[in-house]
Chains A and B, each alone.
Chain A
Amino acid sequence: MEIGATVKEPGSTRRNKTGTWRTFKPILDKEKCIECDNCILFCPDACISPEYEINYDYCKGCGICAEECPVKAIKMERER
């Protein structure tokens, strides 16, 4: 650590993996998915890619994607 916790490179926030805050983890069942893109549009952390890959480094497990999925393809599972 730098003296005085000084941050000497830009963009260091990316190293802060906020996904560690998560209690519930969204699991997408691609078999059920109808590719409506609701989850991508509603995710407040932009954690779902156009290919429907969930970025667990930053997903905080809010569950909005599961709520908005019209075919219930996303399940929220408790983190262990």
Chain B
Amino acid sequence: MTLEILSTNRAVAEAVKLAKPQVIPVYPITPQTSISEYLAQFVANGELEAEYIRVESEHSAISACVGASAAGARVFTATSSQGLALMHEILFVAAGLRNPIVMANANRSLSAPLSIWNDHQDSIAERDSGWIQVYVESAQEAFDSILISYKVSENKKVLLPSMVCLDGFILTHTVEPVEILPKDEVNNFLPEYEPEHAILDPEKPMSLGTFTDPNYYMEARYQIEEATQRSKKIIEKVNKEFHETFKRKYNFIEEYRCEDAEIVLVAMGSLCSTLKELVDEFRKEGKKVGLLKVRVYRPFPHKEISKAIKNADKIAVLDKDITFSMGGALYTDIKAKIRDKEIYNFILGLGGRDITPQNIKEIIEKTEKPEKDITWIGLKEES
């Protein structure tokens, strides 16, 4: 095993190089930019044989992805925040046309006020687009998730696009040891994409993205729902195959000292690393705290979550996003599916606000002695 010391953005680019997309339309935006720069370098060096399209906006980037994917190519793009928001319209097209595009989204807050720092609002705002969403905790997980996502998305029973979400700066610009998997083993794990339902071939003429009247539209939407439901089994299967081949195990969720925990913290992304450390500290103090990391957010793994928290008395859901007047997205989802638990929500880390051990201690206290359902953590006193 060779470990390299790489930023998460570099790790993503290395994974993309191994996945060998034929078309890469991408527009730079902080904090994703270095992914696009590394990929441009790989293409210029001849390390990656791909059409690198320098588009004029993110709307064009994802549009070019849809076109190339509809022609039968494996494609990749990356974006962040305002860029993802500009893609909004075409994200739904990609899912509707069942284009197995894989995208990396460097999670960054949305304007206004303008901020380049991390939270999850950008990708959460796209949760209904029909894309599979995965939130990663480390550079290695980002690397592995790109390869897993291609295999899941391109599965004939799925054919949905995937978004790998990595926390801006906290992950994107942080350097960690990463195992770059061997080329031949990745080729075996992820063979070339063989398009059937959408391909540019004069022998097989077809129309894509046609107008549908009310006789057809609803069935097309229902197909996306069915594919999303089916994707659960495929994700499980691909995770298993990845584990057997590369010895790293991924699941919809990750449980950390949950089995006997009285309070379970639920969170997504890089925050989970901090929380694991703190869970250990709480345990030393005799507090039975556990962590449940949600890795796959769409399809939503409510059965797995329900099972993982079955022994807990109280649940604290930590969200780096807000559905105004309703709490965070993870909280509202868990509340909708799990009825028999005391669940509290904590909004934190918006626009890159630091999340400190003190904040987490406050969350535990407020879960033990709750005052309200939804609490914003780390607000300055003057506000």
Q: B96, B205, B213: which contacts A4 (Cβ < 8 A)?
A: B96
Decide yes or no whether B207 CB sits under 8 A from chain A: yes
CA distance A20 to B196 in the complex (A): 34
Q: In the complex, which range does the number of interface residues on chain B fall in?
A: 10 to 19
Q: A3, A5, A8, A12: which contacts B204 (Cβ < 8 A)?
A: A8
Render B94-107 as a binary contact track against A, CB cut-off 8 A, 1 for contact: 00111100000000
Q: Are A4 and B204 closer than 8 Å at their CB atoms?
A: no
Decide yes or no whether B324 CB sits under 8 A from chain A: no
Smallest CB-CB separation from A2: which chain B residue? B197
Smallest CB-CB separation from B222: which chain A residue? A1
Decide yes or no whether B208 CB sits under 8 A from chain A: yes
CA distance A8 to B205 in the complex (A): 6
Decide yes or no whether B359 CB sits under 8 A from chain A: no
**Residue among A5, A7, A10 with the highest chain B CB neighbour number at 10 A:** A5
Decide yes or no whether B223 CB sits under 8 A from chain A: yes
CA distance A5 to B207 in the complex (A): 9
Q: Are B159 and A3 closer than 8 Å at their CB atoms?
A: yes
Known: A1-B223, A2-B197. A7 touches B206 (CB 8 A): yes
Which A3-49 residues have C-beta < 8 A from chain B?
A: 3-8, 10, 12, 16
Q: Are B213 and A3 closer than 8 Å at their CB atoms?
A: no
Q: Are B219 and A6 closer than 8 Å at their CB atoms?
A: no
Residues of B within 8 A of A6 (CB): 97, 197-198, 206-208
Q: A4, A12, A16: which contacts B208 (Cβ < 8 A)?
A: A4
Closest Cβ–Cβ distance, residue B287 to chain A (whole Å): 50
Smallest CB-CB separation from A1: which chain B residue? B219
Q: Are B98 and A3 closer than 8 Å at their CB atoms?
A: yes
How many residue pairs bridge A and B at CB < 8 Å? 42
Known: A1-B223, A3-B98, A4-B198. A10 touches B205 (CB 8 A): yes
CA distance A7 to B206 in the complex (A): 5
CA distance A55 to B219 in the complex (A): 29
CA distance A5 to B205 in the complex (A): 14
**Residue among A3, A4, A8, A16 with the highest chain B CB neighbour number at 10 A:** A4
Closest Cβ–Cβ distance, residue B162 to chain A (whole Å): 16
CA distance A12 to B99 in the complex (A): 22
CA distance A6 to B220 in the complex (A): 10
CA distance A7 to B204 in the complex (A): 11
Smallest CB-CB separation from B159: which chain A residue? A3
CA distance A4 to B98 in the complex (A): 5
Residues of B within 8 A of A7 (CB): 206-208, 210
Closest Cβ–Cβ distance, residue A21 to chain B (whole Å): 10
Residues of A within 8 A of B159 (CB): 3-4
CA distance A10 to B208 in the complex (A): 12
Render B208-220 as a binary contact track against A, CB cut-off 8 A, 1 for contact: 1010110010011
Residues of B within 8 A of A3 (CB): 98, 159, 197-198, 223
Closest Cβ–Cβ distance, residue B97 to chain A (whole Å): 4
CA distance A37 to B215 in the complex (A): 35
CA distance A43 to B173 in the complex (A): 66
Extra A-B contacts (20), CB below 8 Å, given A4-B97, A6-B198, A7-B206: A1-B219, A1-B220, A1-B223, A3-B98, A3-B159, A3-B197, A4-B96, A4-B99, A5-B96, A5-B97, A5-B210, A5-B216, A6-B197, A6-B206, A6-B208, A7-B207, A7-B208, A8-B204, A8-B206, A10-B205
- Which B residues are closer than 8 A to A by beta carbons? 96-99, 159, 197-198, 204-208, 210, 212-213, 216, 219-220, 223
**Chain A to chain B contacts (Cβ below 8 Å), 16 pairs:** A1-B223, A3-B198, A4-B96, A4-B98, A4-B99, A4-B198, A4-B208, A5-B97, A5-B212, A6-B97, A6-B197, A6-B198, A6-B206, A7-B208, A8-B205, A10-B205
